[in-house]
Amino acid sequence: MRAALDWAFSPVDGDISIGIALTVAAAPLWMCLSLIDEWRVRVAQGFAALGTVASADARLEMKLQAALGASYAWAGSDVVEIESAWTKALDLSRRLGDVEHQLRALWGLWLIHDRQAPAFARQFAAIASTPADKLVSDRMIALSYSSRECRVLG
């Protein structure tokens, strides 16, 4: 994967569109191997390359934002950075009508917010269509209200 990405982002004979697609596709690999720092570096490389492509694809940008949000969250980055990436991914996914990435972004935003968590959970529930997504939304809503009550009582 490293060699393929090095080639794809090579200024001499690479192919930036392949590099960006590989960066997005390799996200689970870096996460499973706990190579979070390398993941963030590669996503940043993908963003830099995206800026040089004449016909930048909003779908690729959405996927890069989602990868960035996830990598920031796994690395324990600043909440502002995490929120920014997930918010951009959510905006792009809504514009593109990509429900899968809307759910990912809402879940990411739900994880980092206390007071707004129920709102993100309800938005997730509103677009959840599969039985698994509906179970996740039920759990998100329950946890949002449960943790909120514990803070009030605590």
Total of domains in the chain: 1
Structure confidence at residue 150 (pLDDT): 47
In a domain, 9, yes or no: yes
CA distance 21 to 77: 24
Q: How high is the pLDDT of residue 16?
A: 85
49 found inside a domain:
yes
pLDDT at 2: 93
Pair 108, 73: CB distance under 8 Å: yes
Tens of pLDDT along 71-125? Answer: 888 777 788 989 999 999 999 999 999 999 999 999 999 988 876 788 899 999 9
Q: For residue 54, what pLDDT is reported?
A: 60
Residue 152 has pLDDT above 90, yes or no: no
Residue 71 in domain: yes
pTM, full prediction: 0.80
The answer to whether residue 92 sits within a structural domain is no
Single out the residue of 93, 87, 41, 28 nearest to residue 62, CA to CA.
93
**Inside any domain, residue 27:** yes
The span from the first CA to the last CA of the chain, in angstroms, equals: 49
Give per-residue pLDDT as tens, 41-70. 898 888 888 877 766 688 888 998 998 898
Pull the structure tokens for residue 130.
Answer: 């599969």
What is the spatial distance between Cα 43 and Cα 67, in angstroms, rounded to a whole number?
7
C-alpha span between 65 and 148 (Å, rounded): 29
Instruction: Judge whether 91 lies within some domain.
Output: no
Examine residue 77 and state whether it is found in any structural domain, yes or no. Answer: yes
Q: Is residue 105 part of a domain?
A: no
* Residue-number span of the structural domain to which 30 is assigned: 2-81
